[in-house]
Structure 1
Amino acid sequence: MRLLIMGPQGVGKGTQAAKLAEHFGIPTISTGDIFRYNIKNETELGKQALAFINKGQLVPDELTNSIVKDRLAQDDVKNGWILDGYPRNASQVEALDTMLAELGTPLDAVVALDADRDVLMERMMKRAEIEGRADDTPEAIATRLDVYAKETAPLLDIYSERGQLVSINGVGEIDAIQANIIAELTK
């Protein structure tokens, strides 16, 4: 099973990706985790990413694509994966399509979790409080949700047109949401 998990910040992508990975016996690939790993281990890709991050800039698509391509070529993903945090824009969709074609590993489905903005804001503020994240101010959270709505949410239309989109309400009990996702994926 090769899946993308998409949705706005705070919708529960990471939680559901971990549960689905366990259920299907496949790894979760989080672009955020990949960046942190490469930065921590001072790889060439990590050093390049850090140069942008330290300037408060987004890591360019070309570099993000290289990191994802490298990860998708590793042995532990031969039987499938869940990709979390990528693609984030139309250019990255094209790059992912090319990568998957080169690897001969088609995408099975795109799981899109959604929740009302008020719910997302509340969840993110609670997470910021629990984790002591000073960068998660209401303004910063609102900006990230706006960026998702503008740049990433439109990608769902692409996957819908391809017949790959599975839309799931991200509000409710974690296990119930997982059950809904699995039911839709195994129809």
Structure 2
Amino acid sequence: MRELNLILFGPPGAGKGTQAARLQDDFRLPYVATGDILRAAVKDGTELGRAAKAYMDAGDLVPDELVIDLIVERISADDSRDGFILDGFPRNRAQADALGEAFDRLGRRITAVLLIDVPDDDLVRRITGRRVSAKTGRPYHVETDPPKHEGRCDIDGSRLIQRDDDRPDVVRKRLEVYHRETEPLISYYDDKGLLRRVDGTRSPTEVHDHIRAVLATLRLEEDL
């Protein structure tokens, strides 16, 4: 397999960031998170960054075409020659079509779209259970990683809070948007033979092992 070009896909709270970090360690591939590269371009004052900042300062969404240009710029860097891990894009059919056309122009192809699948009830419990230190931001979880003393950080005793994005009503709203706008991409990529499903309800290590097995199988199939 000449390149390993991966798209991480799944609902909010599925654990994409955790798995991206492990895949980075495994394969030394850059993690292309659209939010990160957008902020970096604005901070660095690049031509694309200045264009994006103009939209952001006006309170407008950055157009898909500009986001794709940023992705293309990032995956054209030297450290992306052997592949990349893309997260946060595409989020709908139009974006997926435009991204595919951009990859075609580059002469590159998607190796696999890794769907980390988790039921809504599990996601709500996972996300709404998050707590962070009001002082340092250190994360906890009321079920899986609780503090020694309820409501207080183990390190400095500061109060633990629930971020606004982690409130049940906000989480349900984010999931509704995902199901309406992004979930149709499951069949889109499945029809192209690119989708690989991973059970995201398992432990992070088990999810990682499953992804490694999927990628190993893809390598074997390509070598046949």
The reply to whether TM is greater than 0.5 is: yes
Residue 114 of structure 2 is matched in structure 1 by: 111
Question: Matched residue of 1:21: which SS?
Answer: helix
Q: CA separation of 1:20/1:48 partners in 2, compared to 1, >3 Å: closer, same or farther?
A: same
**Alpha-carbon displacement from aligned partner over 1:39-91 (angstroms, at most 9, x marks no partner):** 33333433443444456653321221121121122111010111111111111
Q: How does 1:19-98 map to 2 (within 5 A)?
A: 19-53=22-56, 57-98=60-101
CA distance in 2 between counterparts of 1:12 and 1:50 reads: 29
Residue 147 of structure 2 is matched in structure 1 by: none
| Paired AA for residue 16 in structure 1 | Q
Residue 134 of structure 1 is matched in structure 2 by: 164
Q: CA deviation at 1:96?
A: 1.5
Q: CA separation of 1:72/1:51 partners in 2, compared to 1, >3 Å: closer, same or farther?
A: same
CA distance in 1 between counterparts of 2:48 and 2:208 reads: 34
Residue 174 of structure 2 is matched in structure 1 by: 144
The answer to whether 1:2 aligns with 2:5 is yes
| Paired AA for residue 13 in structure 1 | K
Q: Percent identity?
A: 40
| Paired AA for residue 180 in structure 2 | K
| Paired AA for residue 184 in structure 2 | P
TM-score, normalised by the number of residues in structure 1: 0.89
CA distance in 1 between counterparts of 2:12 and 2:165 reads: 14
| Paired AA for residue 145 in structure 1 | L
| Paired AA for residue 174 in structure 1 | P
Gaps of 5+ in 2: 138-160, 218-224
CA distance in 1 between counterparts of 2:54 and 2:121 reads: 34
**Alpha-carbon displacement from aligned partner over 1:73-114 (angstroms, at most 9, x marks no partner):** 211101011111111111111121112112111111110001
TM-score, normalised by the number of residues in structure 2: 0.76
CA distance in 2 between counterparts of 1:56 and 1:156 reads: 31
Number of matched residues? 186
Q: CA separation of 1:54/1:148 partners in 2, compared to 1, >3 Å: closer, same or farther?
A: farther
CA distance in 2 between counterparts of 1:47 and 1:138 reads: 36
Question: Matched residue of 1:106: which SS?
Answer: coil
Residue 210 of structure 2 is matched in structure 1 by: 180
CA distance in 2 between counterparts of 1:137 and 1:2 reads: 34
Gaps of 5+ in 1: none
By percentage of residues, which structure has more helix? 1
The answer to whether 1:102 aligns with 2:80 is no
Q: CA separation of 1:178/1:67 partners in 2, compared to 1, >3 Å: closer, same or farther?
A: same
| Paired AA for residue 66 in structure 2 | L
| Paired AA for residue 80 in structure 2 | V
Question: Matched residue of 1:168: which SS?
Answer: strand
| Paired AA for residue 122 in structure 1 | R
Structure index of larger Rg: 2
Q: CA separation of 1:60/1:27 partners in 2, compared to 1, >3 Å: closer, same or farther?
A: same
Question: Matched residue of 1:186: which SS?
Answer: helix
